[in-house]
Amino acid sequence: MKEISSLLGYRDSIRVVDATLRDGGLCNDFYFTDSFVKDLYQANIDAGVDYMEVGYKASKKMFDVKKFGKWKFADDDDILKVIGENSEKKVKLAAMADVGRCDFKEDIHDRANSPLDLIRVACYVHQIAGAIEMIEDAKKKGYEVTCNIMAISTAQEGDIRVALDMLGHSPVDTIYIVDSFGSVYPEQMQRIAYLYKEYADKYQKKLGIHAHNNQQLAFANTIEAVGDGVDWLDGTYNGMGRGAGNCSMENLLGFLHNPKYHVYPVLKFIEKHMLKLKKDGIMWGYDLQYLVTGLLNQHPRTAIAFTNDKREDYAEFYNEMIAQE
């Protein structure tokens, strides 16, 4: 159990990142209306959110632009059209770039010529060398940079240590713990956070947490990470995100005791936009099929297929997944 001062107080180093457009975009192929994005931007300002992730910097050579909404590619011009070129930017803007899925040298422009402030490099533990190349490129262009090491629940501790040491020698600002499969329990999160903090302290890096909700533990794991010294916290409005979704922004801001954060604008946005998305048939959030993949520490792609096929034979799905073990 954490010291009460770790949970009841607040620290100025906390940063809240809204990942609704990016992780939520995986639910609807990034087809958000401009009014949705404008209202989300304003809601983040009113709620005191520090960063808003506006989507991916995905390669147009690899992904068909006709099959996805514009936030899959987060072009600078599209961001400016929605946010406004002349508006005073009160929330910093971020985009995610996946190793091997981004033409970063061409598509990520110098920060002086871009509305973006932060590049979030995402990779698996075996892709650290490629991630560092992207991190160095983004830093040279003037950005703040994070590295999100995905699917950490499937990695060996020795590999994680090597990756963290390599990142320690890189110019990355913040290193993220990412529970991609929603498989981690809070007591495991504590051990993972302590492992990451060993290297973060050694190399003077910040730590972040991005949690998925397969076992309804995204919020719990985020709270655990906060108490363990993790400062950068991802959330999404109404928990919207791939499969079971993410730590809910409304939960997160309600938990943090810094008076700069406000829940009311988040609830208003959910009323206006998120409920409509669900009524329109966009699906995300905890369900039994996501619990199964979380329990088995498996990628949720099979659970997503189960959902899309409108199956309800959960016990048979569990047997199918067990057979793959």
pLDDT value, residue 262: 97
Q: Are 32 and 21 in contact (CB under 8 A)?
A: yes
Q: Please count the CA atoms within 13 angstroms of the CA of 50 that sit on its side-chain side.
A: 15
Mean pLDDT of all residues belonging to the chain? 95
- What is the mean pLDDT of the segment spanning 109-122? 97
pTM assigned to the model: 0.95
Say if residue 129 is exposed, middle or buried (CB neighbours under 10 Å; 0-12, 13-18, 19+): exposed
- What is the mean pLDDT of the segment spanning 211-223? 97
Cα→Cα distances 121→105, 177, 183, 210, 264, Å: 13, 13, 22, 13, 31
d(CA 104, CA 137): 8
pLDDT value, residue 176: 98
d(CA 161, CA 281): 42
Per the DSSP assignment, residues forming a β-bridge with 208 are 176, 232
- The band of 324, judged by pLDDT with boundaries at 50, 70 and 90, is confident
Joined tokens for residue 179: 């529970």
Per the DSSP assignment, residues forming a β-bridge with 137 are none
Joined tokens for residue 236: 């999404």
Res. 3: pLDDT tops 60? no
Query: 71, 37, 42: which is closest to 57 by C-alpha?
Result: 71
> For residue 126, which amino acid is it?
H
The radius of gyration computed from the CA coordinates of the chain, to the nearest angstrom, equals 19
Res. 57: pLDDT tops 50? yes
- What is the mean pLDDT of the segment spanning 217-226? 96
- The band of 1, judged by pLDDT with boundaries at 50, 70 and 90, is very low
d(CA 257, CA 7): 8
d(CA 266, CA 16): 13
DSSP single-letter state for residue 141: T
DSSP single-letter state for residue 246: B
Does an H or E element contain 295, and which?
helix 288-295
d(CA 232, CA 260): 15
Q: List, for residues 146-191, the tens digit of each pLDDT value.
A: 999 999 999 999 999 999 999 999 999 999 999 999 999 999 999 9
Quote the Cα angle for 48-53-55, to 5°. 155
Res. 6: pLDDT tops 50? yes
DSSP single-letter state for residue 235: E
